[in-house]
Amino acid sequence: MNLRKLTKVSLARANRWHAPNGLEDWSVLEWAGAMAGEAGEAANFAKKIKRIDSNITNRKNGRKQSPLKRAVLVEKFQKECADTVLYGILAIMRTGGDPVEVIRNVFNNKSAEYGFPERI
């Protein structure tokens, strides 16, 4: 998989899901809201992972969280991060941008700003 293919397939799915208006069915604000919602869910799982890593007691039952639960939380966190990225790609496209170019430019500009050699 590469970002160009992901962008193309994501747009095709969004157009099918939001037929007949496709990507235009939602405003930029709605796409951004969906993206922010997923990022919020990821942050909530990250908070729970941090509690386990810091050995913080659960206030409801006074017990420590199990390492097995951590693995479930990590998986959920990763899925929410992926959802955030996918909505971000659609939000960029909704404003007429090319996600591949936008991401490349942002990455390269940040590397240049901080003097890092990495470029894509």
78-91 residue pLDDT tens: 999 999 999 999 99
Nearest CA among 5, 30, 7 for reference residue 97: 7
pTM equals 0.89
Taking only the tens place, the pLDDT of each residue in 90-110 is 999 999 999 999 999 999 999
The correct answer on CATH 1.10.287 for the domain covering 3-106 is yes
- Calculated CA dihedral for residues 14, 101, 107, 112, nearest 10 degrees: -170
Instruction: Spell out the domain ranges in the chain.
Output: 3-106
Count of C-beta atoms within a 10 Å radius of residue 14: 22
pLDDT of residue 113: 98
